[in-house]
Amino acid sequence: MQKESVKNEKLNLTKIQIAWLAGLFEGEASFTLDKRAKKRYAVSTAPPNVSVKIVLNDEDVIQTVANLLDKNVYLPKRLTIKNNQTYGCSIGDRNTLLYLLPRIYPYMGKRRKAQLDPCLKALNNWVIWFNSGGRSKMAKKRATGYIRAERIYR
């Protein structure tokens, strides 16, 4: 697990807010790794992208999540079986995730911790990759034409 040394200028959550988010995310959120870039682009050396998504019927609850994490609420096109509108919030930026995930981790149950472990590992790998110049190395490969970036559609 990652140390809680990551600071986020926009976020300064209290322990109660973190515990509240953890409880909500424990029951309602999905934690995913997006590994498509490696399959799509020949020069991609980036670790997978991590994202957290939560969708509920309660607009006020989602608005609270969005306000706490400095995010927006979106409206999925799909309605519920009873034709009720749902409201969602997605967290995909690494700064927010690096701040949030280690802080909610201690509050999570065994099953959710197992889902969070690969996400935290991917975030840590991204920090190492980025700090070692991974993004500029990838750009140089593409610029030299040594490896041509091509989308692979399957």
Residue 49 phi, psi dihedral angles, 5° rounding: -85, 140
Q: Which two tokens stand for residue 131?
A: 């700090």
Q: Which domains does the chain have, with CATH numbers?
A: 15-144 (3.10.28.10)
Q: How large is the average pLDDT for residues 99-115? A: 96
CB 138 within 8 A of CB 44: yes
Please enumerate in sequence order all residues whose Cβ is within 8 A of that of 107, keeping only pairs 6 or more positions apart, or say none: 18, 19, 22, 23, 26
- For residue 116, the SS3 value is helix
When pLDDT is cut at 50, 70 and 90, the band that residue 146 belongs to is: very low
When pLDDT is cut at 50, 70 and 90, the band that residue 68 belongs to is: very high
Q: How large is the average pLDDT for residues 11-22? A: 95
pLDDT at 56: 94
pLDDT tens for 111-145 read 999 999 999 999 998 888 888 887 666 655 554 44
Report if pTM > 0.95: no
